[in-house]
Amino acid sequence: MKKAISANKIISGLACALLFSIGINAQKAAFNMDKDLLLVQLDSKTDIDDLHTAASFATLLAHQDYKDLNYLAVAGTYGIQEGLYVPPNELMPMVFHENWVDAHADWDKSVNQVLLEAEKYIDNGGSIWIAEAGQSDFTADWVLKLVEKQPTLNIKEKVHVVQHSDWNESVTEPTKLKYTQTITDYHRIADGNEVGNGTPGLKSDGKVDWESKLNDDHLTKVWNTAIRLADEYNGKDDRYLNKSVDEGGLDFSDLSEVCYILNLMDIKDADEFFTYFKVD
């Protein structure tokens, strides 16, 4: 069960971190494949798009350029939105292997697991990049613990958050959203559901021919599983009905943050994504 950190504790942490960060103007950061960790934080509530997003991340990992990518995924990083969870547990190990934790099953344990993993990279000179494929409640909780453990650490230099969705921000607990936006190096990019706004538009209104471009048994299994689960839960029991997926399309719009982090912003849409990551 999700356990909340009190607003007073967040506000106290915000004040302390602000005192340290005032006057520090770091240069624009870039992801370092050798030293940095990519956190893929998936809310999976109540939209099914994170199932497709996970499958698209598996597709990216199969590319030669990203075989050595340091990553950790977190399932269940939802905020204050109502509605039922979309269980991704069948898919997560197929995509992320052992590199994922389940915040839906145990929020506090997952916060501590991410904190320990983040500290390993920070202590070795790296930074943490968060693809915020959901709300920032989870980010606020583990970053606050990081500030408490390392009060002199320049958080803006070491923790980078990328968000693409107005809705995700609107259903983050307000104090935690403000904390995340203020304490971390927070990047707000254009919505990944749209094409032509400078961010890859990774939501299709019609069928995408991914099968002919992914000549790989594992990726085919991953995508078939993601599509099957998405169809099973899409709009069911008052969950959000993703109309594009309901009409046969794909929605991995939350991968737009990963594209930003890895400097893949020239990808136009879902079709171009599969062309770029084609597996022969």
* pLDDT digit string, tens, across residues 42-94: 999 999 999 999 999 999 999 999 999 999 999 999 999 999 999 999 999 99
Mean local confidence (pLDDT), 145-163: 98
Structure tokens at 17: 């971190």
Question: Among residues 218, 216, 206, 144, which one has the least CA distance to residue 176?
Answer: 144
Lowest-confidence range among 5-14, 51-60, 105-114, 223-232? 5-14
Contacts of residues 168-173 at CB distance under 8 Å and 24 or more positions apart, as own/partner, are: 168/43, 168/79, 168/132, 168/134, 168/135, 168/136, 169/135, 169/136, 171/79, 171/80, 171/81, 171/135, 172/79, 172/80, 172/135, 172/136, 172/137, 173/4, 173/7, 173/79, 173/80, 173/135, 173/137, 173/140
Average pLDDT, the chain: 93
Using the predicted structure, report yes or no on whether residue 1 has a pLDDT greater than 80.
no
**Using an 8 Å Cβ cutoff, are 112 and 5 in contact?**
no
Residue 159 confidence (pLDDT) above 60: yes
Distance set, CA 69 to CA 92, 142, 188 (Å): 17, 22, 23
**pLDDT, tens digit (0-9, with 9 covering 90-100), for 23-42:** 343 457 999 999 999 999 99
| Residue 79 CA from chain centroid, whole number | 13
C-alpha atoms less than 13 angstroms from C-alpha of 236 in its C-beta half-sphere: 10
